[in-house]
Amino acid sequence: MNDTKINTIPQSAHSGYASLLSGFQSIQLGTVSAEQIPEVSYAPAVLTESREFYIHVSELSAHTANLRTSQKASVLLIEDEETCEQIFARKRVTFACDATEVERDSAEWKDAMERFGEKFGPIMNHLKTMQDFHLIRLQPKSGRLVVGFGQAFDVIGNQMDQLTHVRGIDGKGHRTATKQAANK
Amino acid sequence: MNDTKINTIPQSAHSGYASLLSGFQSIQLGTVSAEQIPEVSYAPAVLTESREFYIHVSELSAHTANLRTSQKASVLLIEDEETCEQIFARKRVTFACDATEVERDSAEWKDAMERFGEKFGPIMNHLKTMQDFHLIRLQPKSGRLVVGFGQAFDVIGNQMDQLTHVRGIDGKGHRTATKQAANK
């Protein structure tokens, strides 16, 4: 059953997903404070071959304390508003992530900093010396892709590389007034 | 002192703020679930003269339950990635908001739906009949504007119409390795 569903994923979903993953410079972030206050923000980011994100963020930003404390993040890649076809269905993918700080000067830190340097250029030579900045690894545990009206897919697999159909929450879709009246 | 600070706000901050407020079609949203899991998302939105946002969101989206349960939201207006001058300093404003559901068919609901219709056109005739959609008012309690490197301002006032300088957290700015070594 699952195989059948996977086989029916339209090519537009795969290409939309690939385009979101390859096209971004920065990610939108959802984090939560120790007092359960939500915070939305953004950060320049790199993505590895194994589908982990790295961000390099300052203590001057609220998200940094939130990430280090809660160790949870929600990550959104979304097409620009100006170029989207339909404002009510901007192409996007959201990942629920575990957030882990990477120790400064460790092998992983150096590797990530090389990736940042390759992607963003000389500005990183300065930023990586800043002591209020911390490198955070964001590891997706689940994902949701939306490429148009009614075209939502769950992203699964260890490397977030498979798509499956979503059919509403608990199998429900949108409800019109007529449908609701009929159900009473 | 406060007056002096307000008077020294550069015109570029005021114009950057005005541009973000007048230019958006949708907002980025940070919400939190009952289980303290953060969620980042987006929604088309309208802004009233008294600087309150309205969004019209479906139960099929996780943010809707989060907003109705926690009654808190973080709202981000941010310039598009493609057109930003500097990816490490995208112009943006973030508001910490109280979130309140507006009763369907109330005077406030009808007024908000008119605003949505004016802004987004005929699609709203359909969406407003959907029974899984809820109208949520997002009322900013505080704001933070960033218009460039080191150009951060707090947004204050009942109608989020005044800017004041921010000088880091607890008066601290970024820390270089040299400065940190010197402080030891």
Residue B35 makes CB contacts below 8 A (sequence gap 6+) with none
Task: For A137-162, give the DSSP string.
Answer: EEEEEEEEEE-STT-EEEEETTTT-E
CA quadruple A143, A149, A150, A152: dihedral, nearest 10? -10
Residue A7 pLDDT grade (very low, low, confident, very high; cuts 50, 70, 90): low
CA quadruple B63, A32, A152, A169: dihedral, nearest 10? -50
Residue B17 pLDDT grade (very low, low, confident, very high; cuts 50, 70, 90): very high
Interface test mutation site (partner A, options B40, B86, B175, B180, max chain A beta carbons within 10 A):
B40
Average pLDDT over residues A44-54: 97
Q: How far apart are CA A94 and CA A74, in angstroms?
A: 7
Task: For A57-88, give the DSSP string.
Answer: EETTSHHHHHHHHH-EEEEEEE--TTT-S-GG
A34 token code pair: 């120790």
Q: How far apart are CA B133 and CA A23, in angstroms?
A: 31
Nearest to A30 among B30, B58, B130 (CB): B30
Contacts of B72 in chain A (CB under 8 A): 36-38
* DSSP-assigned letter for residue B57: E
Q: What is the pLDDT of residue A1?
A: 45
- Look up the ipTM and state it: 0.90
* B38–A contact, CB cutoff 8 A: yes
Element (H, E) at B178: helix B177-183
For residues A78 and A58, the answer to whether their CB atoms sit within 8 Å is no
A–B interface: beta-carbon pairs under 8 A: 158
CA distance A148 to chain B (A): 14
Average pLDDT over residues B33-55: 97
Q: How far apart are CA A19 and CA B36, in angstroms?
A: 31
- Counting residues of chain A whose pLDDT is more than 70, the rounded percentage is 89
CA quadruple A116, A120, A126, A128: dihedral, nearest 10? -10
Residue/partner pairs of A51-54 with CB below 8 Å, 24 or more apart: A51/A140, A51/A159, A51/A160, A51/A161, A52/A137, A52/A138, A52/A139, A52/A140, A53/A27, A53/A95, A53/A97, A53/A137, A53/A138, A53/A140, A54/A102, A54/A112, A54/A115, A54/A116, A54/A135, A54/A136, A54/A137, A54/A138
Indicate yes or no: pTM above 0.95.
no
For residues B113 and B119, the answer to whether their CB atoms sit within 8 Å is no
Q: How, if at all, do strands A152-156 and A53-58 pair?
A: unpaired
Contacts of A134 in chain B (CB under 8 A): none
Q: What is the pLDDT of residues B112-140, one digit of tens each?
A: 999 999 999 999 999 999 999 999 999 99
Q: Would you say residue B2 has pLDDT above 80? A: no
SS3 label, residue A16:
helix
Q: How far apart are CA B65 and CA A112, in angstroms?
A: 36
Q: What is the pLDDT of residues A121-158, one digit of tens each?
A: 999 999 999 999 999 999 999 999 999 988 999 999 98
Task: Verify whether the Cβ–Cβ distance B174 to A29 is below 8 Å.
Answer: no
Average pLDDT over residues A93-98: 98
Q: What is the pLDDT of residue B173?
A: 76
SS3 label, residue A4:
helix
CA distance A155 to chain B (A): 16
Half-sphere exposure of A21 (CA within 13 A, CB side): 22
Contacts of B130 in chain A (CB under 8 A): 174-176
Q: How far apart are CA B102 and CA B105, in angstroms?
A: 9
* B26–A contact, CB cutoff 8 A: yes
For residues A73 and B38, the answer to whether their CB atoms sit within 8 Å is yes
Q: What is the pLDDT of residues B138-184, one digit of tens each?
A: 999 999 999 998 899 999 998 999 999 986 555 567 887 765 444 44
Residue A8 pLDDT grade (very low, low, confident, very high; cuts 50, 70, 90): confident
Strands in chain B per DSSP E: 26-32, 38-47, 53-58, 72-78, 92-102, 133-146, 152-156, 162-165
Instruction: Tell me which residue has tokens 């995208």.
Output: B90
Burial class for B18, CB neighbours closer than 10 Å (0-12, 13-18, 19+): exposed
Contacts of B32 in chain A (CB under 8 A): 32, 36-38
B68 token code pair: 């109705």
Average pLDDT over residues A165-181: 66
Q: What is the pLDDT of residues A15-32, one digit of tens each?
A: 999 999 999 999 999 999
Average pLDDT over residues B53-58: 97
Interface of B with A in 48-77 (CB under 8 A): 58-60, 66, 70, 72-76
Q: How far apart are CA A52 and CA A16, in angstroms?
A: 19
